Amino acid sequence: AQERYASIRDTPCVSACGTRIEMHMNAGLMADLPSLENSGAEGVGLFRTELQFLVRNQMPRRTELAALYSRVLDAAQGKRVVFRTLDIGSDKVLPYMKPNDEPNPALGWRAIRVGLDKPGVLRMQLQALLRAANGRPLSLMFPFVAQYDEFAAARAEVDKAIDREVRLGHPLPEAIEIGAMLETPSLAFASQRLFDEVKFLSVGGNDLKQFFFAADRENERVRKRYDTLNVSFLTFLQGIVDRCRESGTRLSFCGEDAGRPIEAVCLAAIGFETLSMRPASVGPVKSLLMRTDLRQLRDVMARSRDRGDQSVREAVMQFLRANA
């Protein structure tokens, strides 16, 4: 399938109305890295570090992790890789960790909540990332941040890890940028400090959508009822885009919807200028973006909303059939 899009692989993605959209890919295992070149992605917008923990029978050691992350950066050849710190709990349970018996795992003790309450593994991981970068730039982000102080506490762990490396005389990354995933509605309304202090925000649409509609992402029966192009969800996303614009916060979208061409052009139309998706989606999404006038699409979406449509999908499909 990627051959079909080979002719645009190395072309920067610019929409028909001249908006530059950055195309990144999601990854998690070493085996994903060759896709960086094959897909033409400009970087790894989401590196799910838990996958490397999930494919093992025991907790990886720090040296092993540092070597792995270093190989990831080598393979990226200078393209940006955003490492997301461990996102376990909920649907991702490590075989060598005591399972938690929680009534609602998706709303439970997971991701950064575990990282802050039991910081041993997070600290080990941060140290491994700092060592792997070794003179190169390092981007990292924390999963499932629901309020400002979780971001601040996680960032303090990075500062501590840096101090430790300095004391040990180890080289530091050339630069470190720290961001957060926006996957709980609460974070969209967080104090301004959050928007000022994060280097970037990345919308985790899979989780954000499940919490916005209160519909379990693992449960087909309820998941399918709520369209991403539902007006209330788009209005919510638009608010996030506007807030980030006002505070000059870099914003991207890395949930599965970024890899669905119709959804992706709508995200771009409301102002997402960086999308991160599975590698196989880069070609099809880019191809549609390059054929789409996002300003016109934006008007189509606004008119559909003003008419009282529940979802803008029908109007969008009609417009794309006629114009893209």
Task: Name the residues that contact ligand PEP, by CB under 6 A.
Answer: 46, 48, 87, 183, 204-207, 254-255
Cα 228 to the center of its chain, rounded Å? 16
Least distance to ligand PEP, CB of residue 6, Å = 27
Pick 46 or 320: Cβ nearer ligand PEP: 46
Least distance to ligand PEP, CB of residue 187, Å = 12
Least distance to Mg ion, CB of residue 225, Å = 20
Pick 106 or 176: Cβ nearer ligand PEP: 106
- Residue 190 near residue 147 (C-beta atoms within 8 A): yes
Helices 313-323 and 294-307, axial angle in degrees (round to 10): 150
Pick 217 or 305: Cβ nearer Mg ion: 217
Buried b / exposed e across 31-61, counting CB within 10 Å, b at 16+? Answer: ebbebbebbbbbbbbbbbbbebbeeeeeebe
Indicate the helix (H) or strand (E) that contains 18: none
Residue showing the smallest CB distance to ligand PEP in the complex: 204
Q: Where are the alpha helices (DSSP H) in 12-61?
A: 34-39, 50-54
Secondary structure string (H, E, C) spanning 111-180: CHHHHHHCCHHHHHHHHHHHHHHCCCCEEEEECCCCCHHHHHHHHHHHHHHHHHHHHCCCCCCCCEEEEE
Binding partner of residue 205 among ligand PEP, Mg ion, none, CB under 5 to 8 Å per kind? ligand PEP
Binding partner of residue 46 among ligand PEP, Mg ion, none, CB under 5 to 8 Å per kind? ligand PEP
Two structure tokens written together for 311: 């979802």
Least distance to ligand PEP, CB of residue 261, Å = 18
Least distance to ligand PEP, CB of residue 58, Å = 22
Binding partner of residue 48 among ligand PEP, Mg ion, none, CB under 5 to 8 Å per kind? ligand PEP
Least distance to ligand PEP, CB of residue 46, Å = 6
Least distance to Mg ion, CB of residue 188, Å = 15
Binding partner of residue 254 among ligand PEP, Mg ion, none, CB under 5 to 8 Å per kind? ligand PEP
Pick 182 or 288: Cβ nearer Mg ion: 182
- Sign for the CA dihedral angle at 205, 207, 211, 215 comes to positive
Q: How many CB atoms lie within 10 A of CB 4?
A: 10
Pick 217 or 305: Cβ nearer ligand PEP: 217
Binding partner of residue 263 among ligand PEP, Mg ion, none, CB under 5 to 8 Å per kind? none
Positions in the binding site for Mg ion (CB under 5 A): 183, 204, 207
Binding partner of residue 178 among Mg ion, ligand PEP, none, CB under 5 to 8 Å per kind? none
Pick 127 or 228: Cβ nearer Mg ion: 228
Cα 197 to the center of its chain, rounded Å? 18
Least distance to ligand PEP, CB of residue 211, Å = 10
Residue 112 identity: I
- List the beta bridge partners of residue 61: none
Pick 24 or 286: Cβ nearer ligand PEP: 24
Pick 207 or 293: Cβ nearer Mg ion: 207
Two structure tokens written together for 132: 């792997």
Binding partner of residue 293 among ligand PEP, Mg ion, none, CB under 5 to 8 Å per kind? none
Q: How many CB atoms lie within 10 A of CB 74?
A: 12
Two structure tokens written together for 213: 């509609």
